[in-house]
């Protein structure tokens, strides 16, 4: 549910313990009192004449970013608790929470700890310690509830559906015999128990891997009393194993690899008594770092760093709930962790791996109904270039197929009139028809330029592999700009047409060129042959490859140069319109909102009477609905079947209805430390589509919507007694796609 781009990148400009909000309720109370005591309260459209109160300082007006990110995971967990959602999908949401928490610790918590570590010792600043205590409290409560839902709801209900996840005590004699044979045949040969002594120190433990700690009695084969052993679970084996059907007379049965090792761990220590044992898992700092200004070859440097990622600084330790205190304490010492970062869980230490159970089970009634995106009739059996000469094409994924974009690049790769293809790649996956088309184009002698972002977190290896293949095919591969991530989603085709004229065709998107994620991420894409806009896309490519100063762009907003100033300019324009007595209106949809300058501009616009609706899926540090500060701002979050990923900026602008789609959230990392592009929708009919598909349904949603209040709390929006139930995603699926009733 949390894709890799949401609210996780360390932001040195925004994260400072001194400046984090410590007591939301007190802050809002003070802000309200300050407004109430103002004897010159003006109507909304005149509020800007009232000077801001001094107590509304930076620490007051912004919500805590870390708490906001954790709150997002509580909303995802609520999906797992929702009994109206099919059972396997509820289990998948539990796995998503686990994955999100992993990344939160790997990146966000790791960054905070790194920023506050001096000479290997954590800073003892009170505000930093208070922040870490809040994070620990919330994350422990979240993890506890996650396993309660698993054990008290999901697994019992699966059992009633004749799907059994068997622990050792649940297995009958025949099943135990099969498990023993599986252990001896498949597992034991791959295990290497390590008894700890001076010659065998505590081993390197890979990030997020499954391991066991074992306490032993007696002496080893050499007469020594080694008391502790570590067993690493083989990463090459599946974590969920299905038992033969003949042993599952009451349905289908599965067991976990961890359960199999648990049951037979004593077999690894002949002549020793196993006193106690526990599974454990350590989460490490996984943010890659290379000095891009020093290395001569970024790709080679990253290949070396990828190995090191597995052994970064430990930030969290998970053990079984019944792990003896002396063993968990021993592990904390080995990983140099304090007790707050110990998580004792009632189940598998890596809940993410239960997604394998979801994949195993084929019962359609336990899943969401199948959904198939439908292509526009205009795009069927149509030459894409001929169509784009007549009109722009707006695509809304996953409600409309991403295959259209793949076909656009494939057609370009095979068209003899196409001379050049240029594309940015941030995430594309290990298998990609689109990338294969680029390779085909290069082999056919076309000028293919691909800007591959090697620092796309957790996709570095896939991107390095594609870069190698592209270069071998003859493509020009560029690794972006030193110090900046190339996050813009751009593709350009240059084609020679009648009269020898070169024409530009472009694709601009809000999401990645990734064939898998486009099936469950909501994103917009624009295919256009608009001469000026497509030419500006080419200017961006020239800027990125040649490292030249970009020419002035009239249509595209380009970060890190102009995107934030253009956003603030558009916000201030709405404020000016409101001050002049005309309606000011802003609607924005994105993954995260944490950039302080943009938030302050929104506050000022609110004070001038601009009506502002924000649809922010994840972290939001803007505090809505505070009198005198943000009473005209409403914030909601949509958590549904699909991951809301599109970025839309709408400004009414005296009925010009300026509508931009973008690759960027309103975060400092996007606005200043990435290459990002926002692009306008020029066609009036397509503007209406963006409004009617991307914004209006989400403002009406009373099924998957959560509303943020002025204290930083989210409340689920529910239909009132006589109100029609309305789900944005379901409505779009019915309108644009095909939902099976099977």
- Whether residue 628 sits in one domain with residue 533: no
- Give the CATH number, domain containing residue 489: 3.30.870.10
Q: Is 457 annotated as a binding residue?
A: yes
Q: What pLDDT score does 296 carry? A: 42
In the set 164, 264, 487, 504, the catalytic residue is 487
- Whether residue 536 sits in one domain with residue 566: no
Among 400, 493, 405, which residue's Cα sits nearest to residue 446?
Answer: 493
CA–CA separation, 612 vs 620, rounded Å?
Answer: 14
Counting the structural domains of the chain, the total is 3
Among 689, 694, 680, which residue's Cα sits nearest to residue 644?
Answer: 694
On whether residue 169 sits in a domain, the answer given is yes
Task: Please state whether 258 falls in left (phi above 0), alpha (psi between -120 and 50) or beta.
Answer: alpha
List, in order, residues 6 or more apart from 727 with CB less than 8 Å away: 640, 701, 703, 704
Q: What pLDDT score does 375 carry? A: 77
Q: Is 660 annotated as a binding residue?
A: no
Output DSSP code: residue 270.
T
For the record, the structure tokens of 437 come out as 């088309």
For the record, the structure tokens of 212 come out as 């066991």
- 464-483 pLDDT per residue, tens: 777 888 889 988 988 877 77
**Burial, 311: exposed, middle or buried (Cβ in 10 Å; 0-12, 13-18, 19+)?**
middle
On whether residue 252 sits in a domain, the answer given is yes
Output DSSP code: residue 618.
S
**CA dihedral sign of residues 50, 52, 55, 59:** positive
First to last CA, the chain: 25
On whether residue 65 sits in a domain, the answer given is no
On whether residue 379 sits in a domain, the answer given is yes
> Which parts of the chain sit beneath pLDDT 50?
2-54, 288-306, 308-309, 456, 741-742
List, in order, residues 6 or more apart from 493 with CB less than 8 Å away: 408, 409, 412, 418, 420, 421, 504, 505, 506
Cβ pair 215, 319 in contact under 8 A: no
CA–CA separation, 345 vs 138, rounded Å?
Answer: 15
Q: Is 645 annotated as a binding residue?
A: yes
Q: Is 90 annotated as a binding residue?
A: no
Provide the 3-class DSSP secondary structure of residue 73. helix
Cβ pair 113, 315 in contact under 8 A: yes
Q: What pLDDT score does 481 carry? A: 75
- Whether residue 304 sits in one domain with residue 416: no
Of 312, 327, 360, the domain-final residue: 360
Is residue 543 part of the annotated active site? The answer reads: no
- Whether residue 317 sits in one domain with residue 285: yes
- Whether residue 573 sits in one domain with residue 545: no
- Whether residue 283 sits in one domain with residue 171: yes
Of 308, 330, 360, the domain-final residue: 360
Number of neighbours of residue 401 by Cβ within 10 angstroms: 20
Q: What pTM, to 2 d.p., does this model score? A: 0.87
Q: Which residues of 239-265 are buried (b: 16+ CB within 10 A; e: fewer)?
A: bbbebeeeebeeebbbbbbbbbbbbbb
On whether residue 446 sits in a domain, the answer given is yes
For the record, the structure tokens of 28 come out as 């809002």
List, in order, residues 6 or more apart from 474 with CB less than 8 Å away: 442, 443, 445, 448
On whether residue 583 sits in a domain, the answer given is yes
Number of neighbours of residue 3 by Cβ within 10 angstroms: 20
- Whether residue 590 sits in one domain with residue 543: no
Length of the chain: 742
Number of neighbours of residue 287 by Cβ within 10 angstroms: 17
Q: Please work out, in degrees rounded to the nearest 5, the angle formed at the alpha carbon of residue 203 by the alpha carbons of 202 and 208.
A: 120
On whether residue 124 sits in a domain, the answer given is no
Instruction: Determine the structural domain holding residue 565 and report its residue range.
Output: 558-739
- Whether residue 514 sits in one domain with residue 414: yes
Q: Is 513 annotated as a binding residue?
A: no
On whether residue 67 sits in a domain, the answer given is no
CA–CA separation, 238 vs 202, rounded Å?
Answer: 26
Q: Phi/psi of residue 234, each to 5°? A: -65, 125
CA–CA separation, 585 vs 614, rounded Å?
Answer: 11
CA–CA separation, 675 vs 132, rounded Å?
Answer: 32
- Whether residue 388 sits in one domain with residue 293: no
Q: What pLDDT score does 570 carry? A: 98
- Whether residue 416 sits in one domain with residue 273: no
Among 492, 472, 482, 377, which residue's Cα sits nearest to residue 424?
Answer: 492
Of 518, 539, 555, the domain-final residue: 555
- Whether residue 343 sits in one domain with residue 416: no
Q: Is 521 annotated as a binding residue?
A: yes
As a whole number of Å, the CA-based R_g of the chain is 28
- Whether residue 617 sits in one domain with residue 521: no
126-149 and 87-103 helices, crossing angle to 10°? 160
């Amino acid at each position: 549910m949390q894709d890799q781009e949401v609210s996780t990148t360390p932001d040195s400009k925004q994260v400072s313990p001194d400046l984090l909000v410590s007591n939301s309720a007190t802050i809002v109370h003070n802000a309200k009192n300050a407004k109430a005591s103002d004897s010159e309260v003006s109507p909304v459209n005149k509020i800007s004449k009232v000077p801001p109160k001094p107590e509304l300082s930076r620490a007051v007006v912004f919500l805590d970013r870390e708490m906001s990110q954790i709150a997002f995971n509580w909303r995802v967990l609520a999906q797992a608790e929702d009994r109206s959602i099919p059972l396997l999908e509820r289990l998948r949401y539990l796995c998503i929470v686990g994955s999100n928490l992993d990344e939160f610790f790997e990146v966000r918590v790791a960054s905070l700890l790194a920023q506050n570590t001096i000479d290997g010792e954590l800073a003892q600043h009170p505000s930093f310690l208070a922040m870490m205590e809040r994070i620990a409290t919330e994350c422990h409560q979240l993890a506890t509830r996650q396993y309660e839902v698993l054990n008290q709801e999901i697994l019992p209900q699966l059992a009633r559906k004749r799907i059994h996840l068997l622990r050792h005590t649940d297995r009958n004699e025949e099943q135990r015999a099969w498990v023993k044979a599986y252990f001896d045949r498949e597992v034991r040969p791959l295990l290497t128990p390590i008894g700890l002594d001076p010659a065998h120190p505590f081993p390197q433990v890979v990030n997020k891997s499954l391991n066991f700690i074992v306490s032993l009695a007696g002496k080893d084969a050499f007469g020594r009393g080694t008391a502790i052993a570590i067993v690493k679970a083989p990463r090459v084996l599946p974590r969920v194993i299905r038992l033969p059907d003949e042993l599952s007379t009451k349905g289908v049965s599965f067991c976990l690899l961890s359960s199999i090792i648990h049951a037979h761990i004593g077999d690894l220590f002949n002549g020793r008594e196993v006193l106690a044992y526990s599974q454990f898992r350590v989460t490490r700092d996984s943010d890659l770092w290379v000095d891009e200004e020093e290395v001569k070859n970024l790709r080679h440097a990253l290949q070396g760093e990828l190995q090191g990622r597995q052994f970064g600084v430990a930030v969290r330790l998970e053990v079984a709930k019944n792990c003896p205190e002396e063993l968990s304490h021993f592990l904390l010492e080995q990983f140099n962790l304090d007790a707050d970062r110990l998580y004792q869980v009632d189940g598998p230490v890596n809940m993410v791996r239960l997604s394998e159970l979801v994949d195993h089970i084929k019962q359609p009634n336990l899943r969401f109904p199948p959904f198939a995106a439908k292509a526009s009739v205009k795009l069927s059996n149509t030459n894409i270039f001929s169509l784009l000469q007549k009109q722009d094409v707006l695509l809304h994924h996953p409600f409309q197929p991403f295959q259209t974009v793949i076909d656009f690049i494939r057609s370009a790769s095979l068209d003899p009139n196409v001379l050049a293809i240029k594309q940015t790649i941030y995430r594309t996956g290990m298998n990609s028809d689109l990338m294969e088309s680029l390779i085909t184009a290069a082999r056919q002698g076309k000028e293919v330029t691909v800007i591959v972002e090697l620092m796309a977190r957790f996709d570095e290896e896939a991107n390095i592999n594609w870069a190698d293949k592209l270069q071998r095919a003859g493509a020009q591969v560029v690794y972006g700009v030193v110090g900046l991530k190339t996050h813009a989603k751009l593709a350009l085709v240059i084609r020679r047409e009648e009269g020898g004229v070169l024409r530009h065709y472009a694709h601009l998107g809000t999401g990645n060129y990734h064939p898998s994620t486009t099936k469950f991420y909501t994103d917009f894409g624009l295919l256009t042959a608009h001469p000026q806009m497509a030419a500006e896309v080419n200017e961006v490519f020239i800027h990125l490859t040649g490292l030249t100063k970009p020419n002035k762009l009239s249509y595209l907003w380009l970060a890190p140069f102009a995107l934030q100033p253009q956003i603030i300019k558009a916000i201030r324009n709405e404020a000016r319109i409101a001050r002049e007595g005309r309606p000011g209106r802003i609607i924005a949809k994105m993954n995260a909102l944490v950039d302080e300058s943009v938030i302050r501009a929104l506050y000022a616009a609110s004070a001038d009477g601009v009506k502002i609706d924000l649809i922010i899926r994840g972290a939001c540090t803007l505090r809505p609905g505070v009198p005198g500060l943000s009473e005209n701002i409403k914030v909601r979050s949509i958590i549904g079947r699909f991951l809301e990923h599109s970025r839309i900026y709408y400004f009414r602008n005296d009925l010009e209805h300026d509508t931009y789609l973008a690759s960027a959230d309103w975060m400092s990392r996007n606005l200043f430390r990435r290459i990002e592009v926002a692009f306008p929708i020029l066609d009036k009919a397509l503007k209406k589509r963006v409004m009617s598909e991307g914004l209006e349904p989400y403002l009406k949603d009373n099924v998957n919507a959560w509303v943020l209040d002025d204290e930083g709390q989210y409340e689920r929006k529910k239909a009132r007694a006589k109100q029609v139930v309305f789900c944005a995603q379901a409505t779009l699926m019915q309108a644009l796609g095909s939902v099976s009733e099977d």
